[in-house]
Amino acid sequence: MIISRVLIFTLACVSTENMVIQNEEELAHQIIGHAIEIHKNLGPGLNKENYIQALTLEFQDGNIEFVSDVEFEILYKDVILKHPSIIDFLVLDQLVIQIVTSDEISESEIQRLLKIIRNNDYRLGLIINFNSTLLKNGIRRVSNHKN
């Protein structure tokens, strides 16, 4: 089970006083727009770190508050395990983003992100695979909505 204690390795916050985000769906739409812009300029085939750096620049340019390299501890039988689960971005403390550069988004990536958002009361996560030829095919929404 992943617990809600969050340790932050890298903090990169930008003022959001001129930005109004209604909900996580609107925020996700905005983030996807930034990802498409990055993909148009860089295309597939680069290292994950290049896309993370580009998305960081997009967030800063767009005055979007975010935290990167967020560590979620994993608790098993009241013991915190040695290797936490790390996500790439937490945006406006409501949207979790994981960047991948693989042939396809694996089921294990989806399940890992789902565990993180469920156990920490987030409603939505995005997995963005920049290695997709067409980026819209490389974006996976992971929802905690219980319908």
pLDDT in tens, 96-109: 999 999 999 999 99
- CATH number of the domain residue 120 falls in: 3.40.1350
Per-residue pLDDT at 139 exceeds 60? yes
What are the φ and ψ backbone dihedral angles of 81, each rounded to 5 degrees? -70, 155
**Number of domains composing the chain:** 1
Whether pTM exceeds 0.85: no
Q: In Å, what is the CA distance from 76 to each residue of 99, 107, 108, 110?
A: 26, 22, 19, 21
d(CA 18, CA 49): 29
Range of the domain at 49: 2-143
9 near 88, Cβ under 8 Å? no
Nearest alpha carbon to residue 139 among 107, 99, 111: 99
